[in-house]
């Protein structure tokens, strides 16, 4: 008789972390020798093969064209959620202070930009009222933070946070530069660095989940619509499976009550778990700011000559 895969009575089943995938910033620009259509099709083919549904967070200015809308329609047709990532990708924490050359972004400006972004995506059949803040920046004052949270509630939105933040975009920048220099370059070192980077960040944020909400959370990881994921998304999905993480659909992940929490920190933003840990005041030695950025990954890639 074949051995049963069901745990024996009294034997606790091994905990299996759960993770969903989310993608930001689809655009009509290609890169690394791929057209935007090729990038789109490669990512969608992996998601179809792996039978997983995600949320695509759309920044309006990047797809405000016939070609861009056609690209989004392919995700909609495939049954993936279409979320709002604003129109202009403004940094909501931009205050224009003396130490910064950033444009001031007011609550009124940001609300208007959110609605402008919504206008481009609300007619898709799989539009979901999830709003993802650009740069994961949710407001640098109480008035902006709470004002935007109130605005989103009034318009039926939830915040489309991620528990696992990462910098795949920084790796993609290096990969595109390499292909620009040599169209036949070996890209496997970028794959290896990408997989290790995402795994390290997933482990870190899972460790926060174990200590802050102190119960399993349905993770969501931030990825981008770019050549890096067109090349290596399938490897990423395989990595999580091989290391015991369960792949789940994004709508099931966002049904976790943890995503309804509204951390009381300033400036607001970063990974949801980063924010919850920051709120306790007990993790100052572990929490860098910003939570993720190219300044952390570039020296590592420099050392590897990536």
In which element (H, E) is residue 198 found? Answer: helix 188-211
pLDDT at 10: 46
CA distance 72 to 40: 9
- Domain edges within the chain: 21-303
Structure tokens at 234: 């399938």
- Higher pLDDT among residues 118 and 102, named by residue: 118
Residue for token pair 């898709």:
124
User: Cα separation of 97 and 141, whole Å?
Assistant: 13
Q: What is the pLDDT of residues 139-192, one digit of tens each?
A: 999 999 999 999 999 999 999 999 999 999 999 999 999 999 999 999 999 999
Cβ–Cβ contacts within 10 Å for residue 100, how many?
12
Report pLDDT digits (tens) over 12-37: 456 899 999 999 999 999 999 999 99
CATH code at 21-303: 3.20.20.370
43-53 per-position pLDDT tens digit: 999 999 999 99
Rounded Cα distance, 207 and 305, in Å: 30
**Averaged pLDDT score across all residues of the chain:** 95
Band the pLDDT of 108: cuts 50, 70, 90.
Answer: very high
Q: What are the E-state strand segments in the chain?
A: 18-24, 55-58, 81-84, 127-131, 137-139, 158-159, 218-224, 246-247, 268-269
């Amino acid at each position: 008789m074949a051995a049963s895969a069901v745990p024996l009575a009294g034997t606790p089943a091994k905990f299996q972390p759960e993770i969903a995938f989310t993608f930001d910033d689809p655009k009509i620009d290609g890169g690394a020798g791929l057209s935007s259509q090729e990038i789109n099709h490669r990512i969608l083919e992996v998601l179809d093969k792996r039978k997983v549904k995600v949320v695509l967070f759309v920044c309006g200015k990047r797809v405000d064209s016939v070609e861009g809308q056609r690209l989004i329609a392919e995700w909609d047709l495939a049954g993936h959620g279409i979320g709002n990532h604003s129109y202009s990708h403004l940094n909501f924490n931009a205050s224009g202070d003396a130490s910064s050359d950033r444009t001031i972004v007011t609550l009124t400006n940001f609300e208007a930009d959110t609605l402008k972004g919504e206008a481009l995506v609300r007619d898709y059949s799989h539009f979901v009222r999830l709003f993802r803040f650009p740069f994961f920046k949710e407001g640098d004052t109480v008035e902006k933070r709470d004002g935007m949270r109130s605005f989103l509630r009034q318009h039926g939105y939830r915040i489309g946070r991620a528990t696992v933040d990462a910098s795949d975009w920084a790796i993609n920048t290096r990969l595109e530069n390499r292909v620009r220099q040599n169209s036949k370059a070996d890209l496997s070192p970028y794959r290896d660095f990408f997989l290790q980077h995402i795994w390290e960040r997933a482990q870190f944020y899972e460790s926060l989940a174990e200590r802050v909400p102190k119960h399993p959370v349905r993770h969501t990881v931030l990825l981008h619509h770019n050549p890096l994921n067109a090349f290596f998304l399938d490897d990423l999905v395989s990595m999580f499976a091989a290391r015991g993480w369960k792949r789940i659909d994004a709508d099931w992940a966002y049904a976790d009550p943890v995503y309804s929490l509204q951390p009381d920190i300033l400036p607001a933003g970063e990974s949801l778990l980063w924010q919850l840990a920051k709120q306790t005041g007990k993790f100052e030695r572990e929490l860098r700011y910003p939570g993720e950025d190219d300044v952390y990954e570039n020296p590592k890639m420099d050392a590897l000559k990536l």
